[in-house]
Structure 1
Amino acid sequence: MKSVDSMFLGLLHAMDPEKAHDLSIRTLARGMGPTLPPPDDPALGIELWGKRFNNPLGLAAGYDKNALVPDACLRMGFGFVEVGGITPRPQPGNPRPRLFRLQEDGAVINRMGLNNDGMLVAYGRLSRRPRWEDRGFVGVNLAKNADTPLEHAADDYATLAAVLGPHADFLVLNLSSPNTEGLRQLQAAESLRAIIRRTRAAMPTRAQPPLCLKVSPDLTDAELDDIARIALEPENPLDGIIAINTTTARPDSLTHPAKQETGGLSGAPLKGRALEVLHFFVARLYGRVPVISVGGVDSAADVLMRLKAGASAVQMYTALAYFGPRLIPKLKAELLDLMRAEGFETMQQVVGADRQAAAA
């Protein structure tokens, strides 16, 4: 079975990146993906938003753009997955080619432009799926349409929350994709406050799903500080920060010729900035607003370090594209070994351990 997996991964890597992505989604949609995995070791479980997650590993937004295969993704072994970004109306995204592998750098550049089938298609799929909490949780990444004027962006987010909120375990405001013109301007303080207020007002009054914000790595410290303060305002509360989205920066370490392509860079080169932003938000929000770390995650040691630093959970995506779904059970097994080697009995004890030790 492992040789078959390796052959399929090799086939995908030999293809155009976007065609390979589409083929992997179609394969999962036809039931050819992983079967239901064995239960996780209870020691891997974490508590977040009053729920018990089987493990702290999540799949970041961008893979299952249309909520077509969330349960197949959970069967890879993730504790939670985030589908989308989803916009109110369908949109084709940016012209192709728009997805580039930087294999030598362990990175990807995308300028997809939030291509998706729209809210109503996602609603049809999410509203029909059984929600078995013991098998993991599904969040929805929300984004405005590219042709919606910035001054009306809050309408898009409110509409999405009203329609998709009842069928999501958590919602994520995507104001940080670099591939929709002007979108990142919505992270400015007053725009952000307006969007949070409108989105919360549109959500179902009973059993509101947690509302998170995904932030850009390219913000200044002052801009990040504004977001941290807004997250704590009683009238504009956020239930989580997801740090970080892709970057428009190009580190000097990049070697692949595709580094000159425009779009958002993800993968290994993002690791350093992801850690900086994680530490920034943990220093201001620890114990009050959970922070989920994403960006350059590719090893169990990296996951453990982020959890110890104060991340409540960790997401990944680019490493999965390079190593395939077998990476997830491998990471979980290694994570258990590392945790126990450091004297932790449960993953919940790991979360924030470094911060608690420093305070003591």
Structure 2
Amino acid sequence: MYRLVFSQVLQRLDAEAVHHFTVSALALLARLPLVKRLLHRVFAPHDPALRVTAFGVHFPGPFGLAAGFDKDAACAEAVAALGFGHVEVGTITAHGQPGNPRPRLFRLVRQHAVINRMGFNNAGAVAAARRLRRTRGVPVVIGVNIGKTKVVPESEATADYVASAKELAPLADYLVVNVSSPNTPGLRNLQAVSLLRPLLTEVKQVADATPRRTPLLVKIAPDLADEDIDAVAELALELGLDGIIATNTTIRHDGETGGLSGRPLKARSLEVLRRLRAKVGDRLTLVSAGGVEDVDDVWERILAGATLVQGYTGWIYGGPLWAAHIHRQLLRRVRRHGLKSVTEAIGRTA
């Protein structure tokens, strides 16, 4: 049914308009307690065999929503009720900003891909913090992804990230430093270890000072050279980070400028994951994102060493209950292999 609706209606509409409508509808759902709880009871992962613990946080299932959808922390509870094991909100910047000019979101339907050049459009850290302070009506693990405000010069980037961390780290189950989006000029330069070290050091001081010590991760691009991936991994170990998210979107594509996500990213994202696992083993939590479409992709990433897996573009093509379906199939996969828990599969082919 969803495929018919998508092919006959949704793909004919402006991609960003559909995105905003979906977020608004889910934000409304998040304010309907009885409906939200019913959906959560039916579609969220509840089986103990799917539970995962990463950096001290308990996840009901390993498959979550990547950053980029819920940019302002408006609908995380509704998203969790549809079957995601966690929701990463953002990217959120210290100061609100409109993002890049429209059009800035493009579907590549035949490739099951999307190109975006959104530019961190969001209402800012203070507004997001206000939403995150609301009492959660259903259990949901919320990660907060922070980035650099566009107008802030590179020389002041660390202070900008620290400002966001001070607002949001106390309210997050985990915090992510995003230095890998291609849509903020100069942002990817911050992946260089010489610039990344002081940035992560100061943000980590903020995260460590929260009442529960908020776990800190860094998100990297698939376009980094292998030696740069190794350098970031070594830095993460040196600084005592909790994990790495690999990967963000890629700029290696033809067509519209911006970051490409979806099926074409699958091979490189898996390659980066395997390289990271070989470098850090189980000393860091690895979160795999990029090109995840179905349970086979999720299972492959877990076997390759990912404790958590994230998707977003696949949701566009897979429909509202995409995550719930993946978690159900993942549970069958775990049982078929005679495992007591999905955690027993992590890194088996690494």
Q: 1:82 aligns with which of 81, 88, 98?
A: 88
Identify the residue that residue 321 of structure 1 maps to in structure 2: 316
Letter in 2 for 1:265: L
Letter in 2 for 1:307: I
Letter in 1 for 2:247: I
Identify the residue that residue 115 of structure 2 maps to in structure 1: 109
Cα offset, 1:124, TM superposition: 0.6
Aligned residues: 341
Identify the residue that residue 240 of structure 1 maps to in structure 2: 243
Letter in 2 for 1:156: D
Cα offset, 1:343, TM superposition: 2.5
Identify the residue that residue 308 of structure 1 maps to in structure 2: 303
Identify the residue that residue 61 of structure 1 maps to in structure 2: 67
Aligned 8 A contact 1:301 1:338 in 2: no
Aligned 8 A contact 1:37 1:76 in 2: no
Identify the residue that residue 222 of structure 1 maps to in structure 2: 227
Identify the residue that residue 216 of structure 2 maps to in structure 1: 211
Identity level (%) = 44
SS state at 1:261 partner: coil
Identify the residue that residue 19 of structure 2 maps to in structure 1: 21
Identify the residue that residue 268 of structure 1 maps to in structure 2: 263
Larger displacement relative to structure 2 (345-354 or 140-149): 345-354
Cα offset, 1:202, TM superposition: 2.6
Matched, 1:36 2:40: yes
Within 1, Cα distance between the matches of 2:28 and 2:6?
15
- CA, structure 1 residues 97+207, in 2 after alignment: closer, same or farther (shift >3 Å)? same
Cα offset, 1:284, TM superposition: 1.0
Cα offset, 1:205, TM superposition: 4.2
Aligned 8 A contact 1:175 1:187 in 2: yes
Within 2, Cα distance between the matches of 1:4 and 1:293?
26
- CA, structure 1 residues 323+167, in 2 after alignment: closer, same or farther (shift >3 Å)? same
TM-score with structure 1 length normalisation? 0.91
SS state at 2:344 partner: helix
CA deviations over 1:58-81 (Å, ceiling 9, x no partner): 100000000000111111111111
Within 2, Cα distance between the matches of 1:323 and 1:131?
26
Structure 1: which 5+ residue stretches go unaligned?
A: 251-258, 356-360
Letter in 1 for 2:266: K
Letter in 1 for 2:240: P
Aligned 8 A contact 2:83 2:321 in 1: no
- Root-mean-square deviation (CA, aligned residues, Å) is 1.8
CA deviations over 1:258-311 (Å, ceiling 9, x no partner): x41000000000000000100010011121011000001011111111101110
Aligned 8 A contact 1:211 1:240 in 2: yes
Cα offset, 1:193, TM superposition: 0.5
Written as runs of structure 1 = structure 2, the 5 A alignment for 1:182-193 is: 182-193=186-197
Identify the residue that residue 100 of structure 2 maps to in structure 1: 94
Structure 2: which 5+ residue stretches go unaligned?
A: none
Letter in 2 for 1:124: R
